[in-house]
Amino acid sequence: MTCGILFSILIFCVSPLTFAKNQDLSNASLLRLLHNRRGNWIALNGDLSLEFLTPQGKKVTCRAELVYQRLDEKILLKGFNEKNEPLFIFKTSDRNFELYLPLISEFYHGSIFDLEDSPEIQSHLKALDLYRALKPGGVLLIQEINCSLLMQWLLRVTHHEGFNFQCHVFDPREICTNPHDLWDANCAIPNLLFDDLEEFQRHVTDFALEEHGYDEVVIFPLSGGVIAKAPTVPLPRWLLRGVDHLDRGLIRLSTRIFPLQQHVALRKILS
């Protein structure tokens, strides 16, 4: 109850309705702040080397180009062979995907949920996948939810996903989410992984923990939680700086109650 009252007071205190119409209330400042807080996550561009296994077990590699636009929920991934001919073009937009294989002139399209639920596709990343993808000494940056008391209250109020602290995340046989609804996320999983860092390091021995910290209190709901369906609260830059300082103070006051996000940096141990 105390968290709910405090959160309501903070939201009303920074309501944009209290400012003159002349103020710049665009979302640019908010996005810039979140972009810096979350490790430049809004847009990614990169050249990749992808490795595949043929049905005969032979390893095949190809060069790829990736463009990822987080705010638009768009991905463009192109793969090329050694002659620089396109092998595939994979695009997503919101919840739909398109896959074109030019060498055999085949085209596939549908809902991204079809890929997630397909028994023939292992679409969920596992720790071993991330380890294999990183170069020796490479760093894995994780930005995740922090299931603090304030976040638990928000999840209850919005009826958006849930949390369960009673599962054992390091047991590969245990299902930690709702087995009847794979999209009903268990928002406690990041805390089960990282609240006890010594326990995490005992189970995850291929990565060394470089950094762990907490972010965002008021700025998270102001941004709509950075999901497309939630409204945002555009504020001028000077006020956003004040909100940022307020967030840092609340996090120093209690990491168990206030922060709604956490970040982790893991370095691949040389092998």
| Same domain flag for 33 and 55 | no
Going across the sheet that includes 86-93, the strands are 43-53, 59-69, 74-80, 86-93, 96-101, 106-111
What residues pair up with 58 in beta bridges, in sequence order? none
| Same domain flag for 107 and 138 | no
pLDDT of residue 116: 54
| Same domain flag for 224 and 196 | yes
pLDDT of residue 235: 79
Q: What is the pLDDT of residues 187-203, one digit of tens each?
A: 999 999 999 999 999 99
| Same domain flag for 117 and 130 | no
| Same domain flag for 61 and 168 | no
Q: How many domains does the chain have?
A: 2
Name the phi and psi angles at 61, rounded to 5. Answer: -115, 155
| Same domain flag for 70 and 173 | no
| Same domain flag for 191 and 270 | yes
Q: What is the pLDDT of residues 171-189, one digit of tens each?
A: 988 888 887 776 778 999 9
Instruction: Examine the pLDDT at 43 and tell me if it is beyond 70.
Output: no
Alpha-carbon distance of 136 to 174, in angstroms, equals 30
Domain boundary among 71, 97, 123: 123
Residue 238, CB-side half-sphere exposure with 13 Å CA sphere: 3
For residue 112, give its domain range: 42-123
Contact 179, 185 (CB under 8 A): no
| Same domain flag for 3 and 65 | no
Alpha-carbon distance of 64 to 103, in angstroms, equals 16
Beta strands in the chain (DSSP E): 43-53, 59-69, 74-80, 86-93, 96-101, 106-111, 139-145, 207-215, 261-268
Instruction: Examine the pLDDT at 204 and tell me if it is beyond 80.
Output: yes
Q: What is the pLDDT of residues 60-112, one digit of tens each?
A: 888 999 888 766 678 889 999 888 999 999 998 877 889 999 988 888 888 87
* Degrees, nearest 5: CA angle 234-238-244: 80
Domain boundary among 107, 123, 139: 123
Alpha-carbon distance of 33 to 27, in angstroms, equals 10
* Residue 134 confidence class, pLDDT cut points 50, 70, 90: confident
Domain boundary among 100, 123, 146: 123
| Same domain flag for 116 and 29 | no
